[in-house]
Each structure stands twice: as structure tokens, then as C-alpha cells.
């Protein structure tokens, strides 16, 4: 029997991508076969969301995401051949050209063909920005009632061998191994511990727990990504008067929490209702998580007047995608 593979969903198929400084037909925006990024994972990327709001569509914390893209590149000694402002502009341009009032953005810095082999260090650095409409990363039901997670037997990559603060393509093999192993065992997501047994993060999300009304999350000294959703949640929680501690904790503390939730651009704020068969708190979304979800959605949709700098507005003509695709 012939194997059947997942097709690209039609809603992901948009007419344009941004490549090396301009919007081009998405079908022509390709990575060369001998790109060093494909072979060795030596590339960096970002994940960003745009949301529609009463004042029009806007990208959430665009400047912070592009700043992290540059930090990730610096860790690999990749020199991005554009100014941050040009890439920020590329993000809003590609959304506008595709007529998207909301969507996910995936900037990718990759190394072109040129010299071959591990020692090649001077090949052209290229930048692409893809975009597509992306729904709830861990499902509508997960956002409402919580997901089931497994503590992975794969440890979070060690900072002795990798650079966990960088959003580096090849490093995601660590996440994919944990995610696929969890999925094969019937779980929605994996939580990774560091080499010392402390909780680090999930495969594509940072982790928070709630105990006696206060939040606790692993500190940046752990091998975790410096999540922008994590930073937003810390600020918003403190504004609501909730205590937030950045502290190391192990699996037992996690299992005894009143609430656990994950944060990420794609996952937004997703509650965890069960870990390795242990019910977390009431076994569904907890009240603190629900409160934070609401204020986070207010922030991304521009309903929070205290944070105008978090949103980069852009304009879309309703006929943009159709008109330009012709």
C-alpha cells in the first residue's frame, strides 16, 4: 500500500513569502539543497503572532522577537545582512501582502550553499519570513480544560554542549525527540528536566506553576529559552498583584502544584491538567491560569491601554491577497 503523507492544509497556503529583502511568490522561496542549515541545523528562527484588534491588526512584541533573532544568530556567529528594522518591516509587509489580519510569522536565518563541510564559515547568510494562519497550537480543548503531559526521559539540552538561549534550528531535535516520544505514549506534550533534575521547560513552551496563589517559573540561569510570552506573563501577573518567583524546582514540586501552565507564542497560555497520571490541582484549568489567559488575550488584541509598545500596527487592504496574487 502506498504511504500517505499529510498535505499542507489549504489555509496554510498563502501567496507570498519574504526572502532576502522583498516579498516574492511563496512557491519560489526555497532553501537550496546544499544549504548548511539543512545538513547541520546551523540556522536560527523566530515564532511571532499577529492579532486583529479594535484598532486594526498588530504584531505582538515584534521588536523583542527580532532582537532575540539577532542574539540567536550571534551565538552561532551568523551575521544577519539586514538591520533589525528591515526585518521588522519585512514581517508586517508579508502579512499585509497576504491580506492576513492575524497569523503566525516564521523568520528564518539560513546559510546558503557555497563552501561545503563543517568548516565552511563564510557562506552567504540569507533571511526568509514565512507566514500562515495558525490556530490553537495545543488545541481548543487544551486551552479550555488543560493538556496531559509527560516528564520526558530526554533531558533538556545541556548548556555545556549547546546554546539553549538561542532559537537554533538544530537544537529543536531535542524538543522533537521529547515530543514524539510523549505523543507515542498518548500524551499531548513533554516537560523536560535539566541535567540536575530541575524542571526546564516543555518542547516549545516555558512552564509556570501556581502554589498558594503565587507563580513560580524556572530562572533564566536554567537551560531554557528566554520566552517572550514568559516575560509578558511575569509582567502582567505582577500588575494583577500576583507574586512571581523565578526559582529552580524539581518534579515533585511540579506534581504538588495547584496549577501548571505553559507559555509560548504558538501555545499562548495552555493549562496542564495531568502529568504522568498525576492530576494537577482540580484536574482542569485553574482560576489563576484562567485569569492570566484573559489578560494575555486582552494584551495581544490591544485591549490593554498600559502596553501600547507591545503592538506593532500594520494595515491590510481587504482585497490585498487576491489582488496581488493575480
Nearer to ligand PPE, 201 or 259 (CB): 201
Closest CB 44 distance from ligand PPE, rounded Å: 12
Q: Does 67 bind ligand PPE (CB under 6 A)?
A: no
The mark string for 209-228 relative to ligand PPE (x by CB under 6 A, - otherwise) is ----------------x-xx
Closest CB 150 distance from ligand PPE, rounded Å: 16
Q: Does 174 bind ligand PPE (CB under 6 A)?
A: no
Q: Does 143 bind ligand PPE (CB under 6 A)?
A: no
Structure letter (DSSP) for residue 146? -
Q: Does 263 bind ligand PPE (CB under 6 A)?
A: yes
CA dihedral (222, 227, 233, 236) positive or negative: positive
Measured at CB, which residue is nearest to ligand PPE?
A: 47
Question: For 281, phi and psi rounded to 5 degrees?
Answer: 55, -130
**Region of 5-13, 17-25, 261-269, 278-286 interacting with ligand PPE (CB under 6 A):** 261-269
Pairing label, strands 214-217, 244-246: parallel
Pairing label, strands 189-193, 147-151: parallel
Q: Does 201 bind ligand PPE (CB under 6 A)?
A: yes
Q: Does 230 bind ligand PPE (CB under 6 A)?
A: yes
C-alpha to C-alpha distance for 256 and 101, rounded to whole angstroms? 41
Q: Does 190 bind ligand PPE (CB under 6 A)?
A: no
C-alpha to C-alpha distance for 135 and 139, rounded to whole angstroms? 8
C-alpha to C-alpha distance for 14 and 315, rounded to whole angstroms? 17
The mark string for 105-124 relative to ligand PPE (x by CB under 6 A, - otherwise) is --------------------
Q: Does 270 bind ligand PPE (CB under 6 A)?
A: no
Question: For 91, phi and psi rounded to 5 degrees?
Answer: -65, -50
Which position among 31, 74, 244, 266 is part of the footprint of ligand PPE (CB under 6 A)? 266
Cβ neighbors of 281 (< 8 A, separation 6 or more) are 210, 257, 258, 259, 260
Instruction: Return the C-alpha cell found at 138.
Output: 495545543
> Residue 86: which of 72, 100, 70, 101 has the closest Cα?
70
Q: Does 194 bind ligand PPE (CB under 6 A)?
A: no
Question: For 65, phi and psi rounded to 5 degrees?
Answer: -65, -40
Q: Does 274 bind ligand PPE (CB under 6 A)?
A: no
Q: Does 76 bind ligand PPE (CB under 6 A)?
A: no
Q: Tell me which residues touch ligand PPE (CB under 6 A).
A: 47, 175, 201, 204-206, 225, 227-230, 263-267
Amino acid at each position: 500500500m502506498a504511504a500517505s503523507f499529510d498535505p499542507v492544509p489549504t489555509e496554510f497556503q498563502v501567496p507570498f513569502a519574504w526572502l532576502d529583502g522583498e516579498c516574492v511568490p511563496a512557491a519560489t522561496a526555497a532553501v537550496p539543497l546544499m544549504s548548511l542549515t539543512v545538513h547541520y541545523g546551523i540556522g536560527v528562527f523566530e515564532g511571532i503572532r499577529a492579532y486583529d484588534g479594535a484598532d486594526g491588526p498588530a504584531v505582538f512584541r515584534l521588536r523583542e522577537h527580532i532582537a532575540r533573532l539577532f542574539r540567536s544568530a550571534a551565538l552561532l556567529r551568523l551575521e544577519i545582512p539586514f538591520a533589525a528594522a528591515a526585518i521588522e518591516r519585512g514581517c508586517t509587509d508579508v502579512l499585509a501582502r497576504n491580506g492576513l489580519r492575524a497569523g503566525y510569522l516564521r523568520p528564518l536565518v539560513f546559510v546558503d550553499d557555497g563552501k561545503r563541510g563543517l568548516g565552511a564559515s563564510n557562506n552567504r547568510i540569507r533571511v526568509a519570513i514565512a507566514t500562515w494562519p495558525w490556530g490553537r497550537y495545543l488545541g481548543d480543548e487544551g486551552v479550555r480544560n488543560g493538556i496531559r503531559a509527560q516528564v520526558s526521559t530526554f533531558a533538556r539540552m545541556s548548556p555545556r554542549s549547546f546554546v539553549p538561549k538561542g532559537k537554533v534550528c538544530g537544537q529543536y531535535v531535542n524538543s522533537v525527540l521529547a515530543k514524539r516520544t510523549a505523543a507515542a505514549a498518548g500524551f499531548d506534550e513533554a516537560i523536560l528536566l535539566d541535567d540536575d533534575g530541575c524542571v526546564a521547560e516543555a518542547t516549545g513552551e516555558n512552564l509556570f506553576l501556581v502554589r498558594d496563589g503565587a507563580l513560580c517559573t524556572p530562572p533564566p540561569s536554567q537551560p531554557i529559552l528566554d520566552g517572550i510570552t514568559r516575560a509578558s506573563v511575569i509582567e502582567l501577573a505582577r500588575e494583577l498583584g500576583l507574586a512571581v518567583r523565578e526559582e529552580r524546582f524539581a518534579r515533585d514540586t511540579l506534581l504538588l502544584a495547584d496549577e501548571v501552565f505553559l507559555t509560548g507564542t504558538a501555545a499562548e497560555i495552555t493549562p496542564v491538567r495531568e502529568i504522568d497520571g498525576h492530576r494537577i490541582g482540580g484536574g482542569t484549568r485553574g482560576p489563576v491560569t484562567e485569569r492570566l489567559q484573559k489578560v494575555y488575550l486582552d494584551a495581544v488584541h490591544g485591549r490593554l491601554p498600559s502596553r501600547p509598545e507591545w503592538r506593532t500596527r500594520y494595515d491590510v487592504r481587504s482585497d490585498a491577497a487576491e489582488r496581488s496574487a493575480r
